[in-house]
C-alpha cells in the first residue's frame, strides 16, 4: 500500500529551521531518507518552496481568483511530502515517528494513496488513464 506523509509546520516552526545550517539540515534529512531507501519503502520525496512564492487559485467565484502567496491565514503549511510503499498504515506511522523534523509546530499527516485499481475499470476515463500509465511505465 502507498501512503503519503505530508510534512506540515507552523510559520514559527519553519522560521526556526532557518537557524539551522543548510548542510546540517541536508545531512539530517539525508540520513532519514537513506534509512527508508535501504528498507525499500521510499517511492518519492519532495520539499516545497516557500509558500510566499506560490499562488492560490480560489474557485469560489467564476472566473476563479488567483492570489499571490499562501492561504489567507496560515496556521500550518504543507512543506513537503514522502510517498512510501509499506504493508500497513501502522508501518507508515512508524516511519513518520522517526522523522527528524520534530518539535513544537511540526506535524506529519498520513494519508493512503488510492490506486487506479480501486476505480471502476469499465469507465472510459479510467481506461484512458490506465493506458497512459502503462505507456509511461507507471503500471
Query: What integer pLDDT is reported at residue 22 of this predicted model?
Result: 87
Residue at grid coordinates 487506479: 116
CATH topology of domain 2-135: Alpha-Beta Plaits (3.30.70)
Query: What integer pLDDT is reported at residue 70 of this predicted model?
Result: 67
Query: What integer pLDDT is reported at residue 77 of this predicted model?
Result: 77
Strand order in the sheet with 77-85: 42-47, 77-85, 2-9, 106-113
Residue at grid coordinates 517511492: 43
Query: What integer pLDDT is reported at residue 73 of this predicted model?
Result: 58
Whole-angstrom distance, CA of residue 20 vs CA of residue 108: 20
Bridging pattern class, strands 42-47 and 106-113: unpaired
* Interval 31-75: pLDDT, tens: 999 999 999 999 999 988 877 788 888 899 999 999 887 665 566
Strand pairing partners for 68? 55
pTM: predicted TM-score of the whole model, two decimal places: 0.83
Query: Cβ contacts of residue 31 below 8 Å, gap of 6+?
Result: 100
Whole-angstrom distance, CA of residue 24 vs CA of residue 30: 10
Q: What percent of the chain has pLDDT over 90?
A: 62
Whole-angstrom distance, CA of residue 38 vs CA of residue 17: 27
Amino acid at each position: 500500500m502507498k501512503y503519503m506523509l505530508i510534512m506540515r509546520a507552523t510559520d514559527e516552526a519553519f522560521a526556526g529551521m532557518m537557524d539551522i545550517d543548510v548542510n546540517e539540515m541536508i545531512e539530517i534529512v539525508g540520513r532519514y531518507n537513506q534509512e527508508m531507501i535501504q528498507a525499500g519503502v521510499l517511492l518519492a520525496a519532495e520539499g516545497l518552496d516557500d509558500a510566499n512564492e506560490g499562488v492560490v487559485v480560489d474557485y469560489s467565484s467564476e472566473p476563479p481568483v488567483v492570489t499571490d502567496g499562501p492561504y489567507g491565514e496560515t496556521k500550518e503549511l504543507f512543506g513537503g511530502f514522502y510517498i512510501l510503499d509499506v504493508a500497513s498504515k501502522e508501518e507508515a506511522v512508524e516511519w513518520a515517528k522517526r522523522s527528524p523534523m520534530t518539535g513544537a509546530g511540526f506535524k506529519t499527516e498520513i494519508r493512503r494513496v488510492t490506486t487506479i485499481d480501486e476505480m471502476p475499470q469499465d469507465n472510459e476515463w479510467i481506461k484512458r488513464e490506465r493506458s497512459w500509465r502503462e505507456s509511461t511505465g507507471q503500471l
